[in-house]
Amino acid sequence: MLVTVVALLSLGGFWLGTRAAGYAHAGQPPSLPWVEVREGDTLGSIAGAVAHPGEDPGAVAAGIRRLNGLRGKLVRPGTRLYVPGGSVTPLQQGQ
């Protein structure tokens, strides 16, 4: 009986977590700059491309992870990533 209760509570927690992650992306302002991940891109290379001169790419990568609700550093080609700041050139931007 206890195992069943713990299993149901765990499943409920996972379900709520996936629901919250979906709402995180829905609340993004449409004017926020974004990039589309291309084959061979890494979070570090994207952060380096969108960082302002003198800005730490590691801090930018952490901002990208936080802004997009990413748990790790892996990104998939075709994914739209919102980026902090606002200086994304049209060549870099996926729009």
pLDDT for residue 70: 93
In whole angstroms, what is the distance from residue 86 CA to residue 14 CA? 34
pTM for this one? Answer: 0.60
Alpha carbon distance, N-terminus to C-terminus of the chain:
53
- pLDDT tens profile 39-92: 999 999 999 999 989 999 999 999 999 999 999 889 999 999 999 875 554 445
pLDDT at 68: 93
> Which tens digit of pLDDT belongs to each residue from 3-46?
775 666 676 665 555 554 544 555 655 578 889 999 999 999 99
DSSP character string of 23-41: HHHHTS-TTS-EEE--TT-
Q: How far, in Å, are 19, 69, 79, 94 from residue 27 at the CA level?
A: 13, 12, 17, 19
Longest Cα pair distance anywhere in the chain, in angstroms? 59
